[in-house]
Amino acid sequence: MKRPAVYIMASRRNGTLYTGVTSNLVQRVWQHREGQIAGFTQRYGCKILVWFELAETMEGAIGREKQIKAGSRRKKLDLIESMNANWSDLYETIAQGG
């Protein structure tokens, strides 16, 4: 899935959230899950992909990431639950190209 995307990783349902942007969602989420990216997600165990949105351009994805990060935690939770009410790990879906 080599396409710009913004995404949210979580440690658990209603747990710690991380919002990021990438040009390769499958690879980046795998790196988070395997603890290969030092920093926030590794420190707080954010290994569950709970939300993502594809973008046409990297500039668009970065703009959306900034918008999400500027919002409240409540807005992030609402965004997640609008797409993924059960907080399922979406990694298998994207890894299989679905």
Looking at residue 13, what is its pLDDT? 96
Question: How far is it, in rounded angstroms, from Cα 73 to Cα 17?
Answer: 9
Confidence of residue 1 (pLDDT cuts 50, 70, 90): low
Tokens (6 digits) for 79 = 């965004």
Q: What total of structural domains would you count in the chain? A: 1
Contact present, 33 and 20 (Cβ < 8 Å): no
The more confident residue out of 4 and 96 is 4
Range of the domain at 71: 2-95
Q: Quick: pLDDT tens for 27-80.
A: 999 999 999 988 999 999 999 999 999 999 999 999 999 999 999 999 999 999
Average pLDDT over residues 72-98: 93
Q: Which residues pair with 21 in a beta bridge?
A: 6
Q: Is this prediction's pTM over 0.85?
A: yes
Question: Which residue reads 């879906």 in tokens?
Answer: 93
CATH of the domain at 8: 3.40.1440.10
